[in-house]
């Protein structure tokens, strides 16, 4: 009878050990699942933070570009006003008769119309018109570019 009792206790200990192993496996799976969930949450949080940061950077870049555009527009308006003022001064204080009078009047008219055009159309239209002019007249534009480059080179080497 002692053998049956010890055999019964051994089987019961096996079952208890098996249950303990099953419980350990279940707990290990729960811990692994919790760790995976936390990792997913952290990754999701990191992605959200990266998205927010990228969005903020995009807004900042957009605002900077807008500010630069406004500044360029203000500068163009200021240059246009200066051109028109110079035209008025040239008309008032320049010679009114003879060849010099005709030349100063022509220069004043050109400055005034250029200033008016710049105020009405802005830098975007000026650059489009300049591009179209260069496309229509590529050879003269090339020679003008070479001449300006030559003059700039001479001016920078002398200083």
Mind listing the pLDDT tens digit for each residue in 76-112? 778 888 888 888 888 888 888 888 888 888 888 988 8
Q: Is the pLDDT of residue 14 over 80?
A: no
Higher per-residue confidence, 159 vs 30: 30
Q: Where are the domains of the chain?
A: 2-158
Q: What pLDDT, on the 0 to 100 scale, is given for residue 89?
A: 87
| Angstrom distance (rounded) from CA 155 to CA 148 | 10
- pLDDT category at 8 given cuts 50, 70, 90 is low
Q: How many helices (H) and strands (E) does the chain have?
A: 3, 0
- pLDDT at residue 28 is higher than 70: yes
C-alpha triplet 84, 88, 92: angle, nearest 5°: 170
């Amino acid at each position: 009878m002692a053998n049956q009792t010890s055999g019964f206790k051994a089987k019961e200990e096996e079952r208890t050990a098996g249950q303990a192993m099953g419980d350990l496996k279940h707990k290990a799976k729960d811990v692994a699942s919790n760790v995976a969930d936390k990792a997913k949450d952290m990754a999701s949080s990191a992605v959200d933070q990266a998205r927010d940061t990228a969005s903020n950077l995009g807004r900042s870049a957009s605002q900077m570009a807008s500010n630069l555009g406004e500044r360029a527009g203000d500068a163009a308006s200021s240059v246009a006003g200066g051109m028109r003022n110079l035209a008025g001064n040239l008309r008032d204080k320049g010679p009114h008769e003879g060849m010099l009078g005709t030349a100063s009047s022509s220069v004043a008219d050109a400055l005034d119309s250029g200033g008016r055009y710049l105020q009405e159309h802005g830098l975007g239209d000026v650059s489009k018109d300049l591009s179209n002019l260069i496309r229509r007249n590529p050879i003269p534009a090339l020679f003008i570019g070479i001449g300006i480059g030559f003059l700039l080179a001479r001016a920078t080497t002398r200083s």
